[in-house]
Amino acid sequence: MPELPEVETVRRGLEPVMTGRIIERAEVNRDGLRWPFPAGMADRLTGARVLGLRRRSKYILADLSTGETALIHLGMSGRMLISGVMLGEFHQDHPAPQKHDHVVLHMEGGARVTFNDARRFGAMDLLPTETAEAHPLLAALGPEPLGNAFDESYLVAKLKGKASPIKSALLDQHLVAGLGNIYVCEVLFRAGISPKKQAGKISAARVASLVPIVREVLNEAIEAGGSSLRDYRQADGELGYFQHVFRVYDREGQPCQTEGCGAKIARVVQSGRSSFYCPHCQR
């Protein structure tokens, strides 16, 4: 599933062709994806101007001139693909319609934005902009890891006395929004903390050190266009490439990249998710 860097990369790719532009025509080609689409979604989108695009956790939010906000979740395989505009040095022509093109937005200026989702675990909804943060998918989310509310004192307080492993704690979307399996593995490696270590037993100083590392890893991944594993593509159809610099994720049995370490990357399953780590460097 796309994590925060992938969703942020898609949001940034959509911004030039959507922000400030009118949705001249919206096509909705099925009743829903993971959940049913809201009633009359095509008519409610058609004619609306996109006032801005923002991200909350792993959701893209498009604020519209109609007073509604379109919520988009990519799910396991969802893609927001752009065509009909210049992308870099090349003109991206409109492709032929595909089987899994579920929502198509024909934008002012000739661009087309297509929500393609082969596995249909994605979602779209329309909600009043004024109360968007109260939506059931957003209301209980923790602070953004790149925002000011996620700081050292916050994380130390939240993890104090917590019995769960640190890996599971950082994946809790109520504690911090948007972190997923890939980037938590990479963060814990850089911090030298084992994913199996009980969160509440980590010193305050080591917990505090996680905050800048989280931001460092996420920013590096965003600059790299995210990590392309299986289905993920950027909005222009290109792959992200952060997966080429993974230090532990998906490297089970390979040598640790820390100079002089000599250990091999191990894998352990925690709450149904694979955690990759170096048993020598991470304690």
Residue 3 is a catalytic residue: yes
One of 3, 6, 8, 68 is an active-site residue; which one?
3
Provide the number of structural domains found in the chain.
2
In a shared domain, residues 240 and 130 = no
In a shared domain, residues 107 and 194 = no
Residue 139 lies in a domain: no
In a shared domain, residues 176 and 265 = yes
In a shared domain, residues 87 and 121 = yes
Is the predicted pLDDT of residue 268 greater than 90, yes or no? yes
Reported confidence tier of residue 267, pLDDT bands at 50, 70, 90? very high
Inter-residue contact 104 to 112 (CB < 8 Å): yes
DSSP code for 262: -
Helix/strand/coil for 226: coil
Is the predicted pLDDT of residue 221 greater than 90, yes or no? no
In a shared domain, residues 97 and 163 = no
Inter-residue contact 242 to 224 (CB < 8 Å): yes
Contacts of 263 (CB under 8 A, 6+ apart): 255, 256, 278, 279, 280, 281
One of 120, 197, 273, 279 is an active-site residue; which one?
273
In this predicted structure, what is the pLDDT of residue 105?
97
In a shared domain, residues 102 and 8 = yes
Q: How far apart are CA 53 and CA 176, in angstroms?
A: 21
Q: How far apart are CA 226 and CA 184, in angstroms?
A: 14
Strands (E), the chain: 23-28, 50-56, 59-64, 68-73, 78-83, 85-87, 90-92, 101-107, 112-117, 123-128, 266-270, 273-277
Residue 147 lies in a domain: no
Domain containing 23: what range? 4-134
One of 11, 56, 58, 247 is an active-site residue; which one?
58
CATH code at position 32: 3.20.190.10
Residue 58 is a catalytic residue: yes
DSSP code for 52: E
Q: What is the pLDDT of residues 80-133, one digit of tens each?
A: 988 887 555 445 667 677 889 999 999 999 999 999 999 999 999 999 999 999
Residue 142 lies in a domain: no
In a shared domain, residues 120 and 157 = no
In a shared domain, residues 59 and 172 = no
Domain boundary (134, 163, 186) is at: 134
Calculate what percentage of the chain has a pLDDT beyond 70.
89
- Burial (0-12, 13-18, 19+ Cβ within 10 Å), 167: buried
Calculate what percentage of the chain has a pLDDT beyond 90.
75
